[in-house]
């Protein structure tokens, strides 16, 4: 499912059997539930059998993961912070190469976080 952000909502779209299904919701979990319901209604697919692969545009990504510091992600990806903020607000759109840089930076950040161990007394 491709998820795109807008001022009011998240929009999702899925193509199944040459049928483009589009829906909006306030949250990602609500969008997933609505999309599964539509797949059941239009294609008689059991929602429990649906595994959606989520692809975010940068607006939706930074809305869903709003704890991310855009300036730090920009630094990690080698992009200008102002430019990444414009991508995150939908004022500009990244090329495939720019989006790949952001994706790789996020994966590196996630990898570093996966190695964290917290000390307790």
pLDDT band, very low/low/confident/very high, at 8 (cuts 50, 70, 90): confident
Pairing state between β 2-5 and 55-56: parallel
Residue spans per domain, the chain: 2-55, 68-114
**CA-CA distance, 90 to 15, in Å (whole number)?**
23
The confidence score (pLDDT) of residue 13 equals: 97
The confidence score (pLDDT) of residue 92 equals: 96
Could you tell me the sign of the dihedral formed by the alpha carbons of 51, 52, 53, 59, in that order? Answer: negative
Diameter of the chain by CA atoms? 58
Kindly report, residue by residue over 14-54, the tens digit of the pLDDT.
999 999 999 999 999 999 999 999 999 999 999 999 999 99
The confidence score (pLDDT) of residue 80 equals: 97
The confidence score (pLDDT) of residue 59 equals: 96
Beta strands in the chain (DSSP E): 2-5, 10-16, 19-25, 55-56
């Amino acid at each position: 499912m491709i998820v795109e952000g807008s001022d009011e909502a998240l929009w999702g779209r899925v193509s199944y059997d040459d049928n483009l299904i589009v829906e909006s919701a306030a949250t990602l979990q609500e969008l997933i539930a609505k999309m599964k319901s539509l797949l059941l209604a239009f294609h008689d697919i059991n929602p429990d059998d649906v595994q959606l692969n989520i692809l975010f545009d940068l607006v939706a990504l930074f809305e869903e993961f709003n704890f991310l510091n855009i300036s730090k992600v920009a630094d990690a990806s080698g992009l200008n912070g102002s430019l990444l903020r414009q991508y995150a607000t939908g004022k500009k759109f990244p090329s495939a190469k720019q989006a790949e840089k952001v994706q790789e930076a996020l994966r590196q950040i996630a990898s570093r976080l996966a190695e964290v161990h917290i000390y307790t007394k």
